[in-house]
C-alpha cells in the first residue's frame, strides 16, 4: 500500500482556504437577500453590486502599491481579513430603510377594527401564524379625529370624558388590545379586530362601533413584530433612498467587506487559476464554502422559527468566528515576492490589439453579466417562488438556499478542479468558451420556467460548467497568451474585466429588470447568452477560416 505523505508546509495554506471560505460562505451568498429584508429594492441592490466590483478594481491596485512600496504584503493581507470580519458584523447591525406604519381605523359588524392599506404586501404565512396564536397584542395608536369619531367614542365606547367638545383635539392616543387569532384578510387587505382600548389615564373601554361609514388614518406601533411587518410599507421611493444615511452606511460597509483590499475572487468559493497544485489547495476552500454555507442556511431557518423575517444572527457571528481563526492561521503563512516582467504595460498592451484577445474579453464580459444576475438575484427568485408555494416552503427557504450553495460548489465546481484541464485539452479553449455561453443560456432559461423552487437544485450542477469550467478557461487562457513575466498581470486584467465590467454591468441591468419583470429577467438574460453563443462561434469560425488564428502553446 502506498504511504500517504502530507506536506506540512502546505497545511497552513489548506487551513487558510478552508477557514476563509468558511468565514465568507455563511454571509456573502445571503447578502442580497439581507439587503432586501432591510428594505432595499432590486434597483438599489443592483446599484450596490454595480459599485462593489468597481471599488475592488480601485482598491486592489492601491493596496498592492502600498504593500510593494513598504514591503508589507503579509500585513495588508492579515489586515484585510480582520477588516472583513468587522465589516460583516457591522452589516448585520445596519439600520433598516424607514417604513410607514399607518392603518385605517373603521367600524365593522359592530366592533372597531383597523386594516392595512391595499398597497401593503400581505404575507399569508404570517397571517396564518397569527390566526393560530391564542394571544393578545398591544398596539399604540395615534388617530386623526373628526366630529363623527368623537361621537362614537363618547356614545359607543361610553368614554364620557370625551363628550365635551372643548376637550377635543386633532388626534387621540390610545392602546388597542388586538386578538391575534381574529386576524383576517380580504382583497390583500389585512384586518385586525380591537377587543379593548386603554385610554389616556388608564381607563379600559369596549370599542363597540355602529357607524360603518366612518374611517380615519392612524399611525401604529405594535409589540408583536409579525403585526408590525404586516403593517409596514416603504416610506421612501427609490429616487430618494440615496439621500438616506441607512443607504450610505450599508454601501460603505459592503464596500469594506466585499470590495476592499482582500481577494474578492475567493468569495465565490471554488475559483482556480490553474489546474495544478493550486487546485489541490483550493479544494479545501470549496469544502469550507459548500459545507458552511449550507449549515448557515439551516441555522438561519432554525433561528427564524415563529418570525415573519429571517434572523441572520447565527450566520454573521459564525462568519466572524471563522475569519478570526483564519487570521490566526494565516499569520503562519510565508510570502515570497514574484519576479515580474520589466515591461508589463508594453507586453500586455500588444495583446489588446489582437482580435482573438478582444473577442476573449467580450466573452468574459458576457459571462460576467449573466453571473452577476445569478449571484445577486437567484436568491430573490427562490424567495419569490417559495412564497407562491406556501408557508412550509417559506419556512425552509434559507435551508434551500444553503443547499443551492453546497451543490454549486461541491457538486458543480469541485469536480472541475480535476476535469477542466482534461476538457480544455480535448475540445480547446475556443470551443469551451462557446460551450459556457450555451449552458449559461439554458440554465437561465430553465430558472424562468420553474414554479417550485426545489427544482433549482438539479439545475445547480450546471454551475460546474458555467463557472468552474469558465473560470479555468478564463484564467488559463490569460496565462497562456500572456508574455513571460506578465501572467499575473494578465490574469488580473481579465479578472477586472470579468467582475469590474461584466458582473458590475450585469448587476445593474438585472436590478432594473427584476424591478420591472421579476423572474422573467432570467429568461431575457438566458436568450441574450444564447445569442452571444451563436455570435461567438461564428466570429471564432471566421477567424479560423481566414487564417488569423495563431497557434497557442497549451
Closest to 100 (Cα-Cα) out of 210, 2, 233, 200:
233
Tell which wins on pLDDT, 271 or 407. 407
Side-chain-side CA neighbours of 176 within 13 Å: the count stands at 31
DSSP H or E stretch at residue 34: helix 31-37
Summarize pLDDT for 395-449 with one digit per residue, the tens: 899 999 999 999 998 888 888 777 888 888 899 888 999 999 999 999 999 999 9
Three cell numbers, residue 462: 450546471
Pairwise CA distance, residues 256 & 277, whole Å: 31
Q: Which conformational region is residue 310 in: left (phi greater than 0), alpha (psi within -120 to 50 degrees), or beta?
A: beta
Q: Is the dihedral of CA 245, 247, 251, 254 positive or negative?
A: positive
Q: What is d(CA 534, CA 473) in angstroms, rounded to the nearest whole number?
A: 19
Residue boundaries of the structural domains of the chain: 8-96+239-545, 101-234
CA–CA separation, 78 and 59 (whole Å): 16
Residue 337 pLDDT more than 60? Answer: no
Does an H or E element contain 68, and which? helix 42-70
pLDDT for residue 266: 45
Is residue 46's pLDDT more than 80?
yes
Mean pLDDT value of segment 89-101: 91
d(CA 119, CA 105): 16
Question: How does pLDDT run across 474-496, given as a tens digit for each residue?
Answer: 888 877 777 666 666 677 778 88
pLDDT exceeds cutoff 70 at 343: no
Which triple of cell numbers denotes residue 494? 481579465
Mean pLDDT value of segment 347-375 = 84
User: Can you tell me the distance from the alpha carbon of 285 to that of 279, in angstroms, rounded to the nearest whole number?
Assistant: 10
- Contact between 459 and 388 (Cβ < 8 Å): no
Is the CB of residue 514 less than 8 Å from the CB of residue 441? no
The reported pLDDT for the residue numbered 338 is 53
Q: How confident is the model at residue 5 (pLDDT cuts 50, 70, 90)?
A: low
Model pLDDT for residues 254-270, shown as the tens digit of each residue = 999 887 655 444 444 44
State how far the Cα of 59 lies from the Cα of 34, in Å rounded to an integer: 25
The CA distance from 202 to 206, in Å, is: 13
Where are the strands (E) in 344-442, listed by range?
Answer: none
Q: Angle between the 520-545 and 355-389 helix axes, to the nearest 10 degrees?
A: 160
Contact call for residues 413 and 270 (beta carbons, < 8 A) = yes
The stretches of 259-354 forming alpha helices (DSSP H) are 277-303, 313-330, 344-351
pTM of the model: 0.84
Measured distance CA(400)–CA(405) in Å, rounded: 9
**Residue partners of 5: CB distance under 8 A and separation at least 6:** none
Does 8-96+239-545 carry CATH code 3.40.50.920?
A: no
Amino acid at each position: 500500500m502506498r504511504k500517504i505523505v502530507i506536506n506540512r508546509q502546505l497545511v497552513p495554506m489548506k487551513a487558510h482556504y478552508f477557514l476563509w471560505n468558511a468565514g465568507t460562505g455563511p454571509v456573502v451568498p445571503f447578502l442580497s437577500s439581507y439587503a432586501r429584508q432591510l428594505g432595499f429594492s432590486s434597483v438599489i441592490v443592483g446599484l450596490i453590486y454595480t459599485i462593489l466590483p468597481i471599488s475592488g478594481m480601485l482598491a486592489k491596485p492601491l493596496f498592492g502599491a502600498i504593500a510593494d512600496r513598504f514591503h508589507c504584503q503579509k500585513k495588508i493581507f492579515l489586515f484585510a481579513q480582520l477588516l472583513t470580519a468587522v465589516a460583516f458584523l457591522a452589516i448585520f447591525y445596519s439600520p433598516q430603510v424607514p417604513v410607514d406604519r399607518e392603518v385605517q381605523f373603521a367600524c365593522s359588524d359592530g366592533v372597531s377594527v383597523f386594516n392595512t392599506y391595499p398597497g401593503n404586501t400581505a404575507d399569508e404565512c404570517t397571517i396564518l401564524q397569527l390566526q393560530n396564536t391564542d394571544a393578545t397584542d398591544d398596539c399604540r395608536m395615534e388617530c386623526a379625529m373628526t366630529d363623527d369619531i368623537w361621537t362614537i367614542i363618547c356614545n359607543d365606547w361610553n368614554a364620557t370624558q370625551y363628550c365635551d367638545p372643548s376637550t377635543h383635539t386633532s388626534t387621540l392616543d390610545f392602546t388597542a388590545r388586538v386578538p391575534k387569532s381574529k386576524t383576517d384578510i380580504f382583497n390583500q387587505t389585512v384586518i385586525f379586530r380591537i377587543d379593548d382600548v386603554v385610554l389616556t389615564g388608564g381607563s379600559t373601554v369596549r370599542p363597540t362601533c355602529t357607524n360603518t361609514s366612518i374611517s380615519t388614518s392612524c399611525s401604529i406601533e405594535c409589540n408583536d413584530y409579525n403585526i408590525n411587518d404586516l403593517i409596514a410599507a416603504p416610506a421612501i421611493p427609490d429616487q430618494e433612498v440615496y439621500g438616506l444615511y441607512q443607504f450610505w452606511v450599508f454601501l460603505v460597509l459592503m464596500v469594506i467587506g466585499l470590495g476592499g483590499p482582500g481577494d474578492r475572487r475567493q468569495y465565490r468559493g471554488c475559483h482556480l487559476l490553474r489546474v495544478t497544485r493550486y487546485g489541490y489547495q483550493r479544494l479545501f476552500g470549496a469544502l469550507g464554502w459548500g459545507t458552511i454555507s449550507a449549515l448557515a442556511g439551516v441555522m438561519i431557518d432554525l433561528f427564524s422559527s415563529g418570525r415573519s423575517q429571517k434572523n441572520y444572527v447565527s450566520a454573521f457571528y459564525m462568519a466572524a468566528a471563522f475569519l478570526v481563526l483564519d487570521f490566526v492561521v494565516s499569520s503562519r503563512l510565508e510570502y515570497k515576492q514574484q519576479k515580474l516582467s520589466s515591461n508589463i504595460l508594453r507586453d500586455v498592451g500588444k495583446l489588446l490589439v489582437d482580435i482573438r484577445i478582444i473577442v476573449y474579453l467580450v466573452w468574459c464580459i458576457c459571462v460576467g453579466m449573466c453571473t452577476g444576475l445569478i449571484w445577486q438575484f437567484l436568491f430573490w427568485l427562490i424567495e419569490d417562488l417559495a412564497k407562491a408555494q406556501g408557508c412550509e416552503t417559506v419556512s425552509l427557504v434559507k435551508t434551500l438556499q444553503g443547499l443551492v450553495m453546497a451543490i454549486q460548489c461541491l457538486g458543480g465546481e469541485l469536480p472541475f478542479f480535476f476535469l477542466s484541464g482534461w476538457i480544455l485539452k480535448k475540445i480547446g479553449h475556443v470551443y469551451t468558451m462557446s460551450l459556457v455561453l450555451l449552458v449559461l443560456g439554458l440554465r437561465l432559461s430553465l430558472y424562468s420556467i420553474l414554479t417550485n423552487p426545489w427544482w433549482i437544485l438539479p439545475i445547480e450542477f450546471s454551475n460546474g460548467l458555467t463557472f468552474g469550467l469558465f473560470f479555468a478557461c478564463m484564467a488559463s487562457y490569460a496565462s497562456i497568451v500572456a508574455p513571460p513575466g506578465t501572467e499575473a498581470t494578465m490574469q488580473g486584467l481579465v479578472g477586472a474585466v470579468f467582475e469590474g465590467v461584466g458582473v458590475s454591468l450585469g448587476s445593474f441591468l438585472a436590478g432594473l429588470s427584476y424591478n420591472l419583470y421579476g423572474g422573467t429577467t432570467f429568461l431575457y438574460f438566458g436568450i441574450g447568452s444564447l445569442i452571444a453563443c451563436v455570435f461567438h462561434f461564428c466570429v471564432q469560425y471566421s477567424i479560423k477560416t481566414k487564417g488569423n488564428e495563431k497557434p497557442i502553446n497549451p
